[in-house]
Chain A
Amino acid sequence: MSAGETHAPQGPSPPGTCPAAATSTSPAARLSPPGFVTCDIIARTDTARVRSPAPMEPLTMQDVKRRSSTLTPARRAQTKPSYLGFGLGLRAQHYADILDGNPDVDWFEVISENYMVPGGQPLKMLDRIRARYPIVMHGVSLSVASATPFDPAYLQGLKDLADRTEPEFVSDHLCWTGVHGVNLHDLLPIPYTREALDHVVARVQHVQDYLKRPIALENVSTYVQFGHSEMIEWDFIAEMAKRTGCWLVFDVNNVFVSSFNHDFDPYEFINGIPADRVVQFHLAGHEHNMTHIIDTHDALVPDEVWQLYRAAVSRFGAVSTIIERDDHIPPLAELVGELSKARTMAIEIVGPQLILNNRR
């Protein structure tokens, strides 16, 4: 995730935009009590590189969808989100190609804020795509590490969209975006201190109680770190996940960018993350400035990130994966091609059980 991706381009509607029936939220779903439980036991591995595939359940997508569709929202909240296969970040430029064609994409991740609007084309498109594909909501403004209290209107808007869309899960970033009522619209770094950890844990728990579901948090690309940090990033993340029961979005590019900018070994990062908490991979490109890397999410996934992806698949196994392009958006077919590369690579490591057919 790069910082500037929060705004959906507004454009004329594609042809044939008859609104699909909205996915309804049953009254039972709204009335369900908070269903998730905090997971106290997190499987940890030592820091040796793990290259063998992680064990996984042999599941077909039919099994997954059947199981998923028969779960109550409360029960689903206690269960690790299903493996979804290989998806893309949903971008407005691709609405028509997705709906008119049948691209080889298993699921879509949507930027929550782009659909936290009253009505019109964005929500109509979301409903139509949701009717055919599994959806994950990915926000950029939760600001979970901010020292400023949450904006209740934002949390309510996020909950309303989740109730409407019934995503597989809801995610955002381990970062802050501003304080004192200001939003810098960037994913800003935190000091890895015990104070920050306690603060983030309390805030994650607050959000999970409010949304009545566990959230997933993504590691961000950073350009600075703080001299008074008391632990390393992956220990901070692991401890946060252990204490809150939250899931993790593992952005492979972001790990690579931060490892270069802060002179650490990205493979240590991979091995420091609790494998059972990772529910999604992000793959993206960046801008290399030789002395530091800027995360742009606007280019092809480079070789170094593919290498790191191989190691991540080896350690974390069957994890839902997307190519996340935020700028210089190419035609859909190009991204589908890049996604095929990820699928082929992961199947080589884990096996053909990664092939799904989610589309309805």
Chain B
Amino acid sequence: MTRTVLKPRTKRPAAEVPAEQALVNSPPSLAELQATFQDAILAGDQRILSLIPPNSRTTREVLFGVYSNAYAGRLVEITANDHELLKAYVGDEYFDTLARAFIAANPSHTQNARWFAEGLPDFLATAEPYSFNPQLGELARLERTLGFAFDAPEAPVVTLTHLQEIDPNDWERLVFCAHPSVRVLKFKTNALAIWTALRAGDTPPAFQHLEMPQTCLVWRHDVTPMVRALPAEEAMIWTEAMNGSAFGKLCELLAVFDDPSTAPLRAAKALQGWLAAGVLTTAEVVPITKPKARRKFE
């Protein structure tokens, strides 16, 4: 160590702090200092001030205030970056209130600000008064899911060309796997219609509870996050397909769901849509499973 002296100006003793506000150990360990500093930012613990000298122009309260004032403002900004349309929907002032309530209840536990507001949809869905407006939580969930799709893992995408290489006689045994960016959401409100209007810069429609939940498919096409509503019939076979049902089984389900004569055509149309959107990562023909020979008991 070449120099271990403080500059004279930094040696100025800190102003008196009430004894009850002083730290236990003086000087504190690094761990104690950091815990106290963090408590000051999160909960207004004033003991940290006893360690901080003023500068030649202003008080230690003002200087430390730079950190405490910046904390929530920065997290509000991070939350707003992820939820531009929620902010547009509720307005700047209400968004600030809402985000600060979320931040106060949810200190960040992530090293990457990218994931800080992951809990916002659940917070808005459960915390009063936000839960009285369930479209807020659903709007937030849609934005987060689009954000998830934006930088979800890479994977191959099945195209029509791939499928055309498969013998049509084998199509009934085709099973599918979704691209890792794909997520299915179910909304009880018209959150998708609100999102769509906000996205287009239009006045959003009035909030509605839906009689039947709306299913939405979210995915990434090339580098762009996408969302579209899934009609009830398509939602049903998508769920079945993701549970491992082969294409032939999907056709059978469609025959039960509606007009049997058009079921294969409707199934083909849905599949074509999935291929065009790029939501499938594999489409493989499963081998015909022979009935197992009955084992003889010994």
Contact = CB atoms under 8 A, between A and B. Distances in A.
A206 interface: no
B70 A120 contact: no
A7 B152 CA distance: 16
A184 B38 CA distance: 8
Interface in B149-165: 149-154
Given A118-B151, A185-B108, A223 B37 contact: no
B84 to A, nearest CB: 9
A195 B75 contact: no
B222 A185 contact: no
B78 A7 contact: yes
A113 B112 contact: yes
Contacts of A123: 151, 154
Interface in B199-252: 220, 222-225
A76 B113 CA distance: 32
A261 B56 CA distance: 9
Which secondary structure dominates chain A's binding surface? loop
B19 interface: no
Most buried by B among A119, A227, A264, A291: A227
Interface stretch (A80-88, A129-137, A230-238, A310-318): A230-238
B24 to A, nearest CB: 14
A280 to B, nearest CB: 23
A353 to B, nearest CB: 32
A12 B1 contact: no
B71 interface: yes
A226 B114 contact: no
Contact of A262 (B10, B149, B225): B10
Contact of A291 (B51, B62, B150, B180): B62
A146 B35 CA distance: 10
Contacts of A145: 30
A291 B81 CA distance: 31
Given A226-B51, A262-B10, A147 B34 contact: yes
A252 B130 CA distance: 45
Contacts of A141: 111-112
Most buried by B among A13, A119, A120, A122: A120
Interface in A1-27: 3-4, 6-10, 12-13, 17
B153 A193 contact: no
Interface string A178-201: 111111111010110111100100
26 contacts: A4-B78, A6-B114, A10-B82, A10-B225, A113-B111, A116-B112, A117-B112, A118-B153, A119-B153, A120-B154, A123-B151, A141-B111, A184-B42, A185-B75, A186-B74, A188-B67, A195-B30, A199-B30, A227-B51, A228-B27, A229-B6, A238-B2, A263-B9, A263-B56, A291-B57, A291-B58
For the complex of A and B, 6 pairs with smallest distance between CB atoms: A228-B27, A291-B58, A147-B31, A120-B151, A121-B223, A117-B151
Interface of A: 3-4, 6-10, 12-13, 17, 44, 113-114, 116-124, 141, 143, 145-147, 151, 153-154, 176, 178-186, 188, 190-191, 193-196, 199, 223-232, 235, 238-239, 261-264, 290-292, 294
Interface of B: 1-7, 9-11, 13-14, 26-31, 33-35, 37-38, 41-42, 51-53, 55-58, 60, 62-64, 66-67, 70-71, 74-75, 77-78, 81-82, 107-114, 116, 147, 149-154, 180-181, 220, 222-225
